[in-house]
Amino acid sequence: MTGNFKPLQDTERKGDDLRGRLTPIHIILFILTFLSTLIAGAMQKGVDPITEPGRIILGLPFSITLIIILLSHELSHYFASRKHHTPATLPYFIPAPSLIGTFGAFIKMSPPIMDRKALLDIGISGPLAGFIVSVVASLIGLSMSEVVLAGKQTGGLGLGNSLLFMALTKITLGIDLNRYDVVLHPIAFAGWIGLFVTSLNLLPIGQLDGGHISYAMFGKRHRWISIGMIPVLLILGTIGWFGWSFWALLMLILGLGHPPTVYDYPLDRKRRILGWLGYVIFIITFSPVPFSGL
């Protein structure tokens, strides 16, 4: 996820940070996130980290996979930003006492973004890289997952199927998803999380990655697309997963607009194709009810 644009004078004040230097806060947050995702992964395996600290190592497959997915996403944003001479920080990881041990990661950028071409490249790079790594992780993890008769697995968290994850499951396991459930291996769960995060970031709202793509594709019409997505999320939050309502509120707080580029040149054909590819990835990774049993 790319962070909100900051005023150019902030770039000058923060110096090394926005020049892509590694700072102590980057290292501390990364270590804390590694530990929090390690504990989360171990707890998914039934480990009590307080009474069984020696077994926390069982969380490594989940932790390492998820961190690689997040790192590939953010570093792709970072390198695309540097390519287009946009000041950007290295990724900040966010540790959290949650089911997956993190709230993700982000980079901060500072304007100006010179043109729509640069904005499209920066916006699509992260989701595209994260998507590829998440698909690979999902395929590897699904091959090691457990198949049970539908309804036999009680308790736990139910995960919704996106079009893509459903297809990956059928390709890898060759099962009828109406008759069988899949108990995901930690690597597959990390892959599922990666695809879910990709769909969240590709929502065409505000300054999310999907918002960058939307502005690059449609210019000032981006704002109307952002506004139109809010009632869609609220409806989904009412009839599907309540988290969509929270996401709509968060987007309203963060803002639905997008800073203009310096030059308003139209996109070339190659980048328009990339932009539409981003929307395709959004559609096939989106799950209207991603979680159940909460």
Rounded-to-integer distance, Cα 37 and Cα 104, Å: 11
Is pLDDT of 111 > 80? no
Encoded tokens for 207:
């300054």
Q: How confident is the model at residue 6 (pLDDT cuts 50, 70, 90)?
A: very low
Report CA-CA distances (Å) from 171 to 50, 168, 280.
39, 5, 20
Q: For the chain, how many residues are written?
A: 294
pLDDT of res. 260? 92
| Residue 142 φ then ψ, to 5° | -65, -35
| Residue 110 φ then ψ, to 5° | -125, 140
Q: What is the mean pLDDT of residues 211-231?
A: 96
Range of the domain at 76: 2-292
Rounded-to-integer distance, Cα 6 and Cα 39, Å: 34
Report CA-CA distances (Å) from 98 to 36, 39, 41, 101.
8, 10, 11, 5
Between the ranges 12-16, 19-23, 66-70, 86-90, where is the mean pLDDT highest?
A: 66-70
In the 8-state DSSP scheme, what is residue 194? Answer: H
* Domain tally, the chain: 1
Q: What is the largest CA-CA distance in the chain?
A: 60
Look at 242 and 6; give whichever has higher pLDDT. Answer: 242
Helix (H) or strand (E) holding 292: strand 291-292
Question: Would residue 77 be called left, alpha or beta, if left means φ above 0 and alpha means ψ between -120 and 50 degrees?
Answer: alpha
Q: How confident is the model at residue 2 (pLDDT cuts 50, 70, 90)?
A: low
Is pLDDT of 267 > 70? yes
